[in-house]
Amino acid sequence: MANIIDGKAVSAKVKEQVRIETEALIAKHGIQPGLAVVIVGNDPASRVYVNNKKKACEAVGFKSFEYALPEETTQEELLELVETLNNDKNVNGILVQLPVPKQIDDKAIINAISAEKDVDAFHPENVGRIMIGDYSFLPCTPAGAMELIDSTGVDVAGKNCVVIGRSNIVGKPMAMLLLHRSGTVTICHSRTQNLAEVTRQADILVAAVGKANFVTGDMVKEGAVVIDVGINRLDNGKLCGDVNYAEVEPKASWITPVPGGVGPMTIAMLMRNTLTAAKAQNGIHE
């Protein structure tokens, strides 16, 4: 039977640490970190994410600025807002909630956000910095997953790590973080041959596929640490991960549940990145 990795508890700890550091930053330097969240259109899931981010900001003591733009917003209008936020000293982090409506090129928007305020770490400069291991921010979801691996006490060095998924926001940076920790890393994707054979080698298995119950018991090595990044909504409305929990849990040594695993970590890491950004922009290194 696996130990359950409690993402809610670990994320609460990260947020509490951010709250304490924020309190000190305000008291000592009069600086209150600010996060601007921009949402374009009416996607209900995005709306929920944005509201959660706003609540998290309040909980840790940040200023939060929300910009809700109509569905028909043009790329020029959004770029103009990004530019204004880039120049606003009260804003330390800028996050444009993706996806954006189809008339807007998300790459152009990501590229326009000042790299030092890019708390999602999606800007090419920040992506490049992650490659060379010289970064201020990590993308929130892989950073959160890494935090959960660390919470198990399992040392990544020398372990076989398999990441299923090669997206720019999860799979690739996750693999890079595991590599920086000296894991022996394999990245799998939809063209991978004999996937189960590869995943069965994993001491640490990270699933970021976007397919409900994709990772079955026969794909997992006895005693593996299993991190389920997937968030899939079933027809009955319930959330479910990429890992078939009932089959995998008895084999794993550690496993993240969905919900309550990686999900809560993403916002906690966003708060951490915003605090890091606020300190860096004010020349504070403590």
- Which residues of the shown chain bind ligand NDP in the complex (CB under 6 A)? 141, 164-167, 169-171, 188-192, 195, 208-211, 229-232, 262-263, 266
Catalytic residue of the set 117, 118, 120, 172: 120
Which uninterrupted H or E stretch holds 13? Answer: helix 7-29
- Distance in Å, CB of 44 to ligand NDP, minimum: 15
Catalytic residue of the set 53, 159, 172, 251: 53
Q: Say how many CA atoms lie within 13 Å of 58 toward its Cβ.
A: 7
Nearest CA among 276, 1, 7, 19 for reference residue 147: 7
Which residue number, 183 or 230, has a Cβ lying nearer to ligand NDP? 230
Q: Which residue is nearest to ligand NDP (CB)?
A: 167
- Distance in Å, CB of 114 to ligand NDP, minimum: 23
Which residue number, 86 or 186, has a Cβ lying nearer to ligand NDP? 186
Nearest CA among 52, 221, 200 for reference residue 140: 52
Q: Are strands 93-96 and 63-69 parallel, antiparallel or unpaired?
A: unpaired
Which residue number, 172 or 279, has a Cβ lying nearer to ligand NDP? 172
- Distance in Å, CB of 35 to ligand NDP, minimum: 17
Q: Say whether 75 is catalytic.
A: no
- Distance in Å, CB of 266 to ligand NDP, minimum: 4
Which residue number, 21 or 120, has a Cβ lying nearer to ligand NDP? 120
Q: Say whether 97 is catalytic.
A: yes
Give the N- to C-terminal CA distance of the chain in Å, as an integer.
Answer: 41
**What single letter denotes the amino acid at residue 190?**
S
- Distance in Å, CB of 101 to ligand NDP, minimum: 18
In this structure, the number of other CB atoms found within 10 A of the CB of residue 155 comes to: 12
Residue 257, helix vs strand vs coil: coil
Which residue number, 73 or 97, has a Cβ lying nearer to ligand NDP? 97
Q: Say whether 53 is catalytic.
A: yes
Q: How far apart are CA 153 and CA 4, in angstroms?
A: 13
Would you put residue 158 in left (φ > 0), alpha (ψ -120 to 50) or beta? Answer: left
Q: Catalytic site residues?
A: 53, 97, 120
